[in-house]
């Protein structure tokens, strides 16, 4: 399995936006092909993430669907 990271800057830090509230973001890291949500995110607030979830890099302007990063176990 290849490294899952931002194709532009190489960061493994990403976030998603709540579709119902674009000002609410949810940060996560990609580690070993899995999503590790930030500990600041309450379990009850974890968003639904699938392969088509729009994903934003935490360090640069890259964003695209999650599946463009590769195979991720959800």
Chain contacts with Zn ion (rule: CB under 5 A): 6, 8-9, 11, 57, 59-60, 62
> Closer CB to Zn ion, residue 8 or residue 36?
8
Strands 54-57 and 34-37: unpaired
Minimum distance, C-beta of residue 73 to Zn ion, in the bound complex (Å): 21
DSSP state of 40: T
Minimum distance, C-beta of residue 7 to Zn ion, in the bound complex (Å): 8
Q: Where are the beta strands (DSSP E) in the chain?
A: 13-18, 21-31, 34-37, 54-57, 63-65
Minimum distance, C-beta of residue 37 to Zn ion, in the bound complex (Å): 18
């Amino acid at each position: 399995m290849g490294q899952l990271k931002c194709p532009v800057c190489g960061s493994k830090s990403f976030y998603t936006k709540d579709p119902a509230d674009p000002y609410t973001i949810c940060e996560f890291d990609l580690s070993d092909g899995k999503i590790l949500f930030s500990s600041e995110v309450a379990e009850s607030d974890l968003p639904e993430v699938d392969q088509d979830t729009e994903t934003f890099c935490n360090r640069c302007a890259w964003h695209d669907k999650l599946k463009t990063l590769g195979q991720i176990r959800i």
